Amino acid sequence: MATKEEILEKLKEAVVEYEEDDSREAAQEALDSPDLMTPMEAVMDGLAAGMEEVGRLYDTHEYFVPEVLMCADALYAGLDILRPHISKEDAKMKAQVVIGSIQGDVHDIGKNLVKMMFDVAGWEVHDLGRDVPLEQFVEKQLETDSEVVAMSAMMTTTMLGMKKVIQMIKEKNPDCLIMLGGAPVTRDVANLFGADGYAESAGNAVSEGIKMISRLREFQAGMKSEG
Amino acid sequence: MAELTSKERVQKLFNREAIDRMPCFSGMGTVVIQAIREMGARFAKVHTDPELMAESALKSAELFGLDGVVVPYDMATVAEAWGRGLTLYEDSDDILYPTVPNKWPALEDVDIPDNFMAMARLPVVDKAFEIVKKNGLAVGAWVLGPFTLAGQVIELDILLKGAKKKKDQVEAFLGKLTDATITQAKHYESLGVDYITVREMGSGTDLLSPRMWKTLIQPNLIKVFEALSIPKVNHICGSTDMIVEMMNECGADAISVDQKNTLADSREKLGNDVLLLGNFDPYGMLCKEETTPAEVEATIKKCIDDGVDAVWPGCDLWPDVKQENMEAYVRTVKEYGKKASPAVGRM
């Protein structure tokens, strides 16, 4: 019988080598071994760890966006099996996020990669899609009382719209955290807005999106200690 | 020393003949908000009306003393003609470029109409060219490269994953789009524009590996440039350091790159005979609140010192430029660009 390390390695490997079938198989193996690990461990230390390696490969120009997208598919193949078995308690939080690409922006590769990070972390994700009118972010945040609003803007055009959404949300709900593209989580609106002035290509979003795994882990740790 | 007209200056630059000074122009959207305001128009309106489109281009050039005009401003014209729809954002107070709302769900669904250059807003653009041509400025047209055009009409992830998993199918699809790009570019050539920029903007190494660029992008760009006889520019934004030599093998008269390119290195790789255009960040330099005219001047000078033959913005000008920064950009190009550039001498 496989050890915990072997199963986690298999999950990681499946993501890095973009093998969807292997990912499903290893996820099932993890589920079948409740004595060795929880489903959440399999996600975080297997699938997510694999995606972190993918981020490294992207940064060193070994992988490019086509590979990253295929790795993401492999991650979801495993995640779809593991996620239904992650208890709310095991996820250790019940956070929600509203996510979308802002009006004027029809790109969503970056947004989808960031969404993946929230999915991995077990958050409830309200995906508004792309080319989303500014008010919809505000409406959805108020409706769901989500802790985070994550907006992606790939083009200059839409950067300026973000400023407006931030103002609208902060007026009504000053505690809501706002993430822009791949910017670090912070309550400082000015810093947030200064995070990235001009990300024309999907490349920046890919790199930043992947790096968000560790930021999300830190963020979750922070929320746990606050709560 | 005789002063050249704007048109002559640009034409001579592309012919690599001696000129009086560096022309100040671009191959991509060059419309500024000051022009739109002076016309009393709204940005959302200039994309559908040939007179407004032409007037906004001419007025932008006139207000700041540019040597060229370029239309249109958005990337949706062809996709719209192919029935993919158009979002104009007419109710928005912000400056938003038109976008394409409906992509084809799969490669098999793609159906390109034969006579698409006569459809949707493409005749509007033709009419705008007719108007701007009457002025003495250089007239630039641009088209999307096959891969970037593909990204307008099909989900990028289908295309990118398909490039690995369904290589033959994606290659055949890109072959069709190459024919469409050639049709559009040759049409603009027949309208008598002075130069044409082929923008394969989504193909830098932020997205694709150099290896994939060589097999998937380069052969199609070679076909496009082979089909054209007017001066043509190969523009790619994003990371281009690893592919700039392959860009130069495509048969264009000039290479244009954005601020992510290490220009001095590219100049060294390509030698002094190649026309190199670039490479300042139009938003960061011209629009960003904190950027001063002195910083603009320093950046433009650096572009020239690094070895461009004409200073081009890395992308469309973002219309909301700061008056004093735009002035600093044009002034510096004209003054600091009096000296010869690597590929083009001075009269």
- Chain B CB contacts of A69 under 8 Å are 157, 160-161
Nearest CA in chain B to A112: B157
Mean pLDDT for the stretch of residues B283-311: 95
Mean pLDDT for the stretch of residues A88-113: 75
- Is residue A117's pLDDT more than 80? no
Per-residue pLDDT band for A91 (boundaries 50, 70, 90) equals low
Q: Tell me which residue of A139, A165, A140, A141 sits closest to A152, measured CA to CA.
A: A165
| Yes or no, beta carbons of B96 and A131 under 8 Å apart | no
With an 8 Å Cβ cutoff, is B213 touching chain A?
no
Q: Which residues are CB-contacts of B274 (< 8 A; sequence separation ≥ 6)?
A: B248, B254, B255, B343
Q: Does domain A92-227 have CATH number 3.40.50.280?
A: yes
CB count within 10 Å of CB B11 equals 19
| Yes or no, beta carbons of A70 and B238 under 8 Å apart | no
- Chain B CB contacts of A163 under 8 Å are none
- pLDDT tens profile B217-269: 999 999 999 999 999 999 998 889 999 999 999 999 999 999 999 999 999 99
Mean pLDDT for the stretch of residues A63-88: 91
- Is residue A192's pLDDT more than 60? no
Residue in B94, B202, B205 closest to A64 by CB: B205
| Yes or no, beta carbons of B209 and A61 under 8 Å apart | yes
Give the ipTM: 0.86
Would you state the pLDDT for residue B254? Answer: 98
Would you state the pLDDT for residue A106? Answer: 73
With an 8 Å Cβ cutoff, is B287 touching chain A?
yes
- Is residue A213's pLDDT more than 70? no
Question: What are the DSSP calls for B215-240, one per residue?
Answer: IIIHHHHHHHHHT--S-EEEEE-S--
Per-residue pLDDT band for A201 (boundaries 50, 70, 90) equals very low
| Yes or no, beta carbons of B242 and A204 under 8 Å apart | no
With an 8 Å Cβ cutoff, is A17 touching chain B?
no
More confident residue, B94 or A72: A72
- Chain B CB contacts of A65 under 8 Å are 160, 206-208
More confident residue, A109 or B122: B122
Nearest CA in chain B to A201: B238
- Is residue B95's pLDDT more than 50? yes
- Chain B CB contacts of A156 under 8 Å are 283, 287, 318
Give me the residue label for tokens 């000015």.
A190
Per-residue pLDDT band for A103 (boundaries 50, 70, 90) equals confident
Per-residue pLDDT band for A158 (boundaries 50, 70, 90) equals low
Per-residue pLDDT band for A14 (boundaries 50, 70, 90) equals very high
Long-range contacts of A115-118 (CB under 8 A, 24+ apart): A115/A150, A116/A51, A116/A72, A116/A75, A116/A76, A116/A209, A117/A209, A117/A210, A117/A212, A117/A213, A117/A216, A118/A150, A118/A216
Per-residue pLDDT band for B77 (boundaries 50, 70, 90) equals very high
Q: Which of residues 54-73 of A touch B (CB under 8 A)?
A: 61, 64-67, 69-70, 73
The residues spanned by each domain of chain B are: 6-336
- Is residue A1's pLDDT more than 50? yes
Q: Which residues are CB-contacts of A28 (< 8 A; sequence separation ≥ 6)?
A: A81
Per-residue pLDDT band for A197 (boundaries 50, 70, 90) equals very low
Percent of chain B with pLDDT over 70: 99
Per-residue pLDDT band for A220 (boundaries 50, 70, 90) equals low
Mean pLDDT for the stretch of residues A33-40: 94
Distance from the A85 Cα atom to the nearest Cα atom in chain B, whole angstroms: 29
| Yes or no, beta carbons of A65 and B207 under 8 Å apart | yes
Task: Say how far apart CA B346 and CA B328 lie, in whole Å.
Answer: 22
Q: Which of residues 175-204 of B touch A (CB under 8 A)?
A: 201-202, 204
Would you state the pLDDT for residue B79? Answer: 97
Q: Which of A115, A130, A200 to mutate to test the interface with B (most CBs of B within 10 A)?
A: A200
The pair phi, psi for residue B244, each rounded to 5°, is: -65, -35
With an 8 Å Cβ cutoff, is A191 touching chain B?
no
- pLDDT tens profile A47-60: 989 988 988 898 88
Please give the interface size between A and B, counted as residue pairs whose CB atoms are below 8 Å apart: 93
Residue in B89, B205, B315 closest to A104 by CB: B89
Nearest CA in chain B to A65: B207
Would you state the pLDDT for residue B186? Answer: 98
| Yes or no, beta carbons of B156 and A197 under 8 Å apart | no
**Angle of the A109-120 helix axis to the A202-226 helix axis, nearest 10:** 30
- pLDDT tens profile B118-176: 999 999 999 999 999 999 999 999 999 999 999 999 988 899 899 988 999 999 999 99
More confident residue, A113 or A43: A43
Would you state the pLDDT for residue A223? Answer: 52
Would you state the pLDDT for residue A227? Answer: 36
Q: Does domain A1-91 have CATH number 2.30.250.10?
A: no
The residues spanned by each domain of chain A are: 1-91, 92-227
In chain B, what is the straight-line distance between the N-terminal and C-terminal CA atoms, in Å? 8
With an 8 Å Cβ cutoff, is B161 touching chain A?
yes
Mean pLDDT of chain B: 95
Task: Say how far apart CA B198 and CA B234 lie, in whole Å.
Answer: 5
Residue in B160, B165, B204 closest to A201 by CB: B204
Distance from the A64 Cα atom to the nearest Cα atom in chain B, whole angstroms: 6
Task: Say how far apart CA B57 and CA B71 lie, in whole Å.
Answer: 7
Percent of chain A with pLDDT over 70: 72
- Is residue A140's pLDDT more than 70? yes
Identify whether the C-beta of residue A161 lies closer than 8 Å to the C-beta of residue A173: no
Q: Which of B170, B207, B316 to mutate to test the interface with A (most CBs of A within 10 A)?
A: B207
Would you state the pLDDT for residue A196? Answer: 31
Structure tokens at A143: 């409706």
- Is residue A94's pLDDT more than 80? no
The partner residues of B69 in beta bridges, in order of sequence, read B139
Nearest CA in chain B to A200: B238
Mean pLDDT for the stretch of residues A94-114: 79
CATH number of this structure's domain B6-336: 3.20.20.210
